[in-house]
């Protein structure tokens, strides 16, 4: 069964989609269950992904990457997340935040930090969320104070993908306190993770996305040179909002990959399981459940690919990106829930792929802005 068909994918993204599919079959699917159980960081798969040219996908060729368009990154996401969400997130986050540096950074910063990521010599991360604040981007408390020719960072970040493993992170910090201009109080910085005052440790074990690692980061008088500021002081919120429009279309792809996995598993299970002397797939009620899953999936996928086009052409990007994220990630939760029910008691065996998918789908409805916030954005940009 091929649910991730080519028809909605533009011609320009089809070659890379095929590369991603082959890579996932060879390097992700065979080890997905093992990494899920151990919760280890999948270094080997990451290195294979780098060798295959499928990591740091979004960095331009000028800085050593492949310069993938949003559509190409989305095509890869669908294939990778179908194979395993935790490993997929690790591969995707190896260049997380680097696109911001590419868009707004200065030449020297790009040579020093972006190029090593594009060339797969380093990995990056994006540090926005905090222990006490996640959804309210204008409520973050980590502070950057200018002292002479340095910025001094103090505060805490939480949930930071690769916060331990990364060579540097793009860090979002408060640089002002103007109550009349809440969104103008933040800036973005390149923060190398080996500086004094940057301490990171892994957060506790998660129930889903087990092969990805997030960190609790503490910043205690961590000093960076003044030229590590990205773009203009006070514009961090806006740079991030633009970055998230791209990210949310791709997170929609996380949902689509997971939904495809749930549908495949459910369909296979009911074709072969017997009850009341019949194949379970012969019950009309069961067929209707599968029909609903498939219909929701196709609707989400059409919307998501339409949103990719809208974001790429900067046509009401925020409105479309938020819809794609809500619809695709919630389709994944719906398909996983129904898929579990169709598996009967076997649904709860942790070795079964459906139970892995069921736990994973809880996460994309939260990260890159919880779906409640996406609904605020959709209504707000009506």
Ligand X SMILES: Cc1cc2nc3c(=O)[nH]c(=O)nc-3n(C[C@H](O)[C@H](O)[C@H](O)COP(=O)(O)OP(=O)(O)OC[C@H]3O[C@@H](n4cnc5c(N)ncnc54)[C@H](O)[C@@H]3O)c2cc1C
Contact residues for ligand X, defined by CB under 6 A: 126-129, 134-135, 159-161, 209, 214, 363, 366-370, 372, 376
Query: Long-range contacts of range 311-317, CB-CB < 8 Å, 24 or more positions apart?
Result: 311/70, 311/245, 311/246, 311/249, 312/69, 312/70, 312/71, 316/381, 317/242, 317/245
Cα separation, 305 vs 312, whole angstroms: 11
3-state DSSP assignment of residue 106: coil
**What tokens appear for 240 in the block?**
């991030």
Closest distance of CB 86 from ligand X, Å: 9
Given the residues 71, 165, 296, 368, the one annotated as active site: 368
Please report how close the Cβ of residue 161 comes to ligand X at its closest, in angstroms. 3
In the complex, minimum distance from the CB of residue 39 to ligand X, in angstroms, rounded to a whole number: 12
In terms of CB distance, is 129 or 185 closer to ligand X? 129
Rounded to a whole number of angstroms, the minimum distance from the CB of residue 126 to ligand X is 5
- Least gap, CB of 369 to ligand X (angstroms): 6
Residue 373 tokens, joined: 């916030």
Output 264 or 360, the one with its CB closest to ligand X: 360
In the complex, least distance from residue 131 CB atom to ligand X, rounded to whole angstroms: 8
**How far is the C-alpha of 301 from the C-alpha of 313, rounded, in Å?**
19
Positive or negative, the CA dihedral 242, 133, 188, 210 is negative
- Which residues does 21 contact at the CB level (< 8 Å), separation at least 6? 4, 79
Residue nearest to ligand X (CB): 134
Q: Which is nearer to ligand X, 152 or 370 (CB)?
A: 370
Backbone φ and ψ of 88, nearest 5°: -60, -45
Can 368 be counted among the known catalytic residues?
A: yes
> CB burial class (10 A; 0-12, 13-18, 19+) of residue 277?
exposed
Written as six digits, the tokens of 339 are 């898929």
- Whether 155 contacts 130, CB under 8 Å: yes
3-state secondary structure of 301: helix
Query: Which of 9/73 has CB closer to ligand X?
Result: 73
Helices 14-23 and 70-83 cross at an angle (nearest 10°) of: 20
- Which residues carry out catalysis? 368
């Amino acid at each position: 069964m091929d649910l991730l068909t080519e028809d909605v994918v533009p011609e320009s993204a089809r070659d890379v989609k095929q590369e991603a599919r082959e890579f996932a079959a060879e390097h992700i699917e065979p080890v997905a269950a093992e990494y899920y159980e151990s919760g280890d960081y999948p270094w080997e798969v990451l290195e294979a992904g780098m060798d295959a040219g499928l990591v740091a996908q979004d960095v331009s060729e000028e800085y050593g990457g492949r310069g993938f368009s949003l559509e190409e990154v989305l095509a890869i996401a669908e294939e990778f997340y179908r194979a395993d969400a935790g490993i997929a997130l690790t591969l995707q986050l190896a260049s997380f935040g680097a696109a911001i540096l590419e868009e707004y950074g200065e030449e020297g910063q790009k040579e020093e930090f972006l190029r090593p990521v594009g060339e797969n010599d380093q990995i990056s991360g994006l540090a926005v969320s905090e222990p006490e604040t996640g959804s309210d981007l204008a409520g973050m408390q980590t502070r950057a104070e200018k002292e002479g020719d340095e910025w001094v960072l103090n505060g805490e970040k939480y949930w930071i993908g690769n916060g331990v493993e990364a060579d540097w992170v793009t860090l979002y910090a408060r640089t002002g306190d103007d109550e009349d201009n809440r969104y103008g109080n933040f800036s973005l910085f390149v923060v190398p993770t080996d500086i004094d005052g940057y301490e990171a440790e892994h957060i506790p074990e998660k129930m889903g996305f087990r092969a990805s690692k997030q960190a609790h980061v503490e910043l205690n008088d961590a000093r960076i040179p003044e030229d590590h500021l990205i773009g203009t002081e006070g514009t961090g919120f806006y740079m991030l909002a633009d970055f998230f429009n791209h990210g949310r279309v791709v997170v929609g792809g996380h949902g689509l990959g997971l939904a495809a996995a749930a549908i495949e598993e459910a369909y296979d299970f009911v074709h072969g399981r017997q009850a009341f002397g019949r194949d379970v797939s012969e019950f009309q009620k069961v067929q209707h459940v599968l029909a609903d899953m498939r219909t929701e999936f196709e609707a989400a996928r059409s919307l998501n690919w339409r949103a990719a086009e809208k974001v790429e052409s900067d046509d009401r990007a925020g409105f479309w990106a938020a819809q794609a994220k809500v619809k695709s990630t919630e389709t994944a939760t719906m398909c996983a829930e129904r898929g579990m029910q169709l598996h009967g008691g076997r649904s709860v065996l942790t070795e079964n792929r459906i139970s892995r998918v069921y736990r994973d789908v809880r996460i994309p409805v939260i990260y890159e802005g919880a779906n409640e916030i996406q609904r605020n954005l959709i209504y707000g940009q009506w």
